[in-house]
C-alpha cells in the first residue's frame, strides 16, 4: 500500500498532470546550464517493489533514517540522448519487432549531471547503495549507510511469493536527482545469499542472457521453445518470448514512469548489480538516463532482441566488473560450469556503453570463480586506489566483441506456433 506521504504527492502530481495541456509521453529535457562539477548528497527515501497484482509500490523509509543517512556523490556533466517522447520510442520498437521495419526516431541531446565515474569514492558509494537492495537491514551483508531502521519496521518486498523486481530510491537533498537502485539475482552463490525471488530472477536471467532459451544440452528444460535442433535457434520465436514472458524490462519502464510522476523535475540515475545492473542499463538506453552497472551480464544482445531503438551514443552507460568474475566476462557457460550447475546460462559477452575493467586475474592473480561475483568483492576493490596514479581503471568501450558464435539464428519454425515452452 502507498503510505500517506507518497499517496498525497501522487494525487497532487496526477491532478496537475490532468489539469494542464501536455503530452504525457514527452520526456522533458533537463536544462543545460549546469556547473562543471557539483557534489550531491543523497538520502534513502523509498523502497520500491511490485505487488501481487503487478503494481509498482513505494514504501517510505522511516523518517529518522532517511533524513540523517547521507551519501556524498561527485558529479560530472555528460551528454545523453533521449527520445523526443516515449510514445515514439515504443512505436519504433513495435514496428521493428512486428514488421521488421526501421522507423526514424528523433533524439534530443541533453547535458545533465551524472555520476563522476572517474571518482573511486563515487563508485564505492554507488556500490554500497546497490548492495543493500539484496538484504533486509540488520542481516549479514548490509553495509551501514548511517542510522538504523526504526524498531518494528516491516520487511518490504521479502514475502515468499513476492516479485523479484525491487530495490531502493535515493533522492538528493534538493530533489534535483534521483538514484534508482535495482536488485540483482537472488541466488546463494551469485548474490552472496539466497532469497525468495530466485525463481523469477532465474527465468529473466536465462531468457535475457542465454544464446537460445538456456539450451545448454539435451538434459536442460528450456525457458522457451525456440531451439530448432543442431545448433539452430528461431530468431522470431526468441524475440517473441522475450516480449511475452513477463520480463522485468516492462516492469522497469513502469517503475521509471512512476518515479517521474513522483519527481517530475528530477534527473534520474540508475544503478544495480548483476541482473539489476543489466536491467538498469536497458532502462538507461530507453530513457537516456545515466547508468552505473556492477558485474552485470552483457546486455547488448538482449537490447537488440528487445528491439530497443539505438541512441546516437551510449556513453552515459558505465559498466564496472573484474576479470575473475565469469558472469560479466561471458565465460560462465557449458554443461559443467558452476552457473549451469546452479541452473543458470550466462552466455552473452558484449556490454553497451563503456566498461571499467579491473584485471584482477593478471594483477592480483585471482582465478576465475563464481565466488568472486557478489557485490561485496567490488566494494572491497573500490576500497583503495587501483594504481598509485589511477584510482580506477579508465572507462572504455568494448570493441571487437562477439558472442553466441556457435549458434545459427534464423526462421526455422512454423510462424503459427507459439513461443512458449
- Measured in Å, how far apart are the chain's first and last C-alpha atoms? 34
Q: Which residue among the candidates 274, 278, 337, 338 is catalytic per the annotation?
A: 274
Q: Are strands 177-182 and 167-172 parallel, antiparallel or unpaired?
A: antiparallel
- Residue 182, CA distances (Å) to 59, 140, 357 in order: 15, 19, 21
| Nearest-angstrom CA–CA distance, 367 and 370 | 10
Q: Which set of grid coordinates corresponds to residue 382? A: 573500490
| Nearest-angstrom CA–CA distance, 289 and 160 | 32
Nearest to 280 by CA among 252, 302, 303: 252
Please indicate whether residue 274 is annotated as part of the active site. yes
- Is 76:113 a contact under the CB 8 Å cutoff? yes
Q: Which residues contact 402 (CB under 8 A, 6 or more apart)?
A: 349, 350
- Is 49:14 a contact under the CB 8 Å cutoff? no
DSSP assignments along 290-327, one per residue: -EEEESPPP-HHHHHHTTPPPPS--TTEEEEEETT-HH
221 CA to centre of own chain: 26
Nearest to 273 by CA among 199, 190, 384, 353: 190
Beta bridge partners of 318: 292, 354
| Nearest-angstrom CA–CA distance, 66 and 360 | 36
- Is 127:294 a contact under the CB 8 Å cutoff? yes
| Nearest-angstrom CA–CA distance, 153 and 37 | 37
Site of grid cell 553466441: 404
| Nearest-angstrom CA–CA distance, 187 and 196 | 9
- Is 170:128 a contact under the CB 8 Å cutoff? no
The catalytic residues are 274
Amino acid at each position: 500500500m502507498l503510505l500517506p506521504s507518497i499517496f498525497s504527492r501522487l494525487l497532487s502530481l496526477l491532478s496537475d498532470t490532468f489539469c494542464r495541456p501536455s503530452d504525457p509521453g514527452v520526456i522533458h529535457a533537463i536544462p543545460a546550464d549546469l556547473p562543471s562539477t557539483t557534489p550531491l548528497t543523497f538520502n534513502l527515501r523509498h523502497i520500491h517493489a511490485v505487488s501481487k497484482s503487478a503494481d509498482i509500490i513505494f514504501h517510505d523509509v522511516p523518517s529518522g533514517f532517511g533524513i540523517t543517512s547521507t551519501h556524498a556523490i561527485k558529479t560530472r556533466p555528460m551528454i545523453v540522448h533521449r527520445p523526443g517522447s516515449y510514445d515514439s520510442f515504443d512505436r519504433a520498437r513495435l514496428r521493428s519487432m512486428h514488421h521488421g521495419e526501421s522507423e526514424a526516431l528523433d533524439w534530443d541531446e541533453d547535458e545533465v549531471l551524472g555520476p563522476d565515474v572517474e571518482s573511486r569514492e563515487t563508485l564505492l558509494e554507488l556500490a554500497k547503495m546497490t548492495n543493500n537492495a539484496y538484504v533486509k537491514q540488520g542481516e549479514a551483508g548490509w553495509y551501514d549507510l548511517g542510522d538504523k531502521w526504526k524498531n518494528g519496521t516491516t520487511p518490504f518486498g521479502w514475502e515468499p511469493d513476492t516479485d523479484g523486481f525491487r530495490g531502493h530510491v535515493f533522492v538528493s537533498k534538493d530533489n534535483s536527482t534521483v538514484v534508482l537502485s535495482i536488485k540483482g539475482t537472488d541466488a546463494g552463490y551469485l548474490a552472496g545469499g539466497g532469497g525468495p525471488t530466485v525463481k523469477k530472477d532465474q527465468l529473466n536471467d536465462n531468457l535475457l542472457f542465454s544464446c537460445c532459451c538456456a539450451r545448454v544440452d539435451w538434459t536442460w528444460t528450456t525457458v522457451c521453445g525456440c531451439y530448432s535442433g543442431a545448433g539452430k535457434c528461431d530468431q522470431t520465436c526468441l524475440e517473441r518470448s522475450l516480449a511475452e514472458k513477463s520480463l522485468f524490462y516492462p516492469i522497469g519502464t513502469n517503475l521509471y514512469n512512476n518515479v517521474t510522476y513522483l519527481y517530475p523535475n528530477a534527473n534520474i540515475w540508475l544503478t544495480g548489480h548483476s541482473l539489476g545492473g543489466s536491467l538498469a542499463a536497458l532502462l538507461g538506453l530507453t530513457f537516456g538516463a545515466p547508468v552505473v552497472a556492477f558485474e552485470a551480464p552483457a546486455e547488448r544482445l538482449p537490447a537488440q532482441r528487445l528491439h530497443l531503438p539505438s541512441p546516437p551514443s551510449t556513453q552515459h552507460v558505465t559498466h564496472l566488473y573484474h576479470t575473475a568474475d565469469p558472469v560479466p566476462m561471458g565465460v560462465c557457460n557449458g554443461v559443467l560450469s558452476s552457473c549451469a550447475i546452479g541452473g543458470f546460462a550466462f552466455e552473452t559477452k558484449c556490454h553497451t556503453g563503456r566498461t571499467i575493467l579491473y584485471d584482477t586475474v593478471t594483477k592480483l592473480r585471482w582465478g576465475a570463480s563464481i565466488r568472486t561475483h557478489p557485490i561485496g568483492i567490488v566494494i572491497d576493490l573500490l576500497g583503495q586506489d587501483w594504481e598509485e596514479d589511477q584510482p580506477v581503471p579508465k572507462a572504455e568501450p568494448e570493441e571487437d566483441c562477439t558472442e553466441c558464435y556457435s549458434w545459427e539464428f534464423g526462421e526455422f519454425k512454423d510462424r503459427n506456433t507459439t513461443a512458449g515452452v
